[in-house]
Amino acid sequence: MSNDEIRARVIKTLSGIVPELDPSSLKPAVSLRDQLDVDSMDFLNFLIALHQEFGVDVPESDAGKLGTIDACVDYLEQALRQRTQA
């Protein structure tokens, strides 16, 4: 799966949690929490939705690594690559 495809699916997944999200104004390197008023319940639901979308279960210890869109894409890209190689 390409980086762009992962990014598009991450943003689509996020839109399910934050319906008012405007993808064009999303800043990929800025904290989701800060720019979208995402709280811990939203974030947990986002992780659950990512799990459903990509089949990647983000461990609790890694949750903090998915704070921005860029970080999410990088994390998922790596996780998917490792899964393919395994």
Contact region for other proteins (CB under 8 A) — 3-11, 18-26, 67-75, 76-84?
A: 18-26
Torsions phi, psi of 68, nearest 5?
Answer: -130, 170
**Count of CB atoms situated within 10 Å of the CB of 84:** 8
Contact region for other proteins (CB under 8 A) — 6-14, 23-31, 38-46, 67-75?
A: 38-46
**Site for other proteins contains 42 (CB under 8 A):** yes
* Burial bucket for residue 69 (CB in 10 Å: 0-12, 13-18, 19+): buried
User: How many positions of this chain bind other proteins (CB under 8 A)?
Assistant: 20
Positions in the binding site for other proteins (CB under 8 A)? 18-20, 37-45, 47-48, 51, 57-61
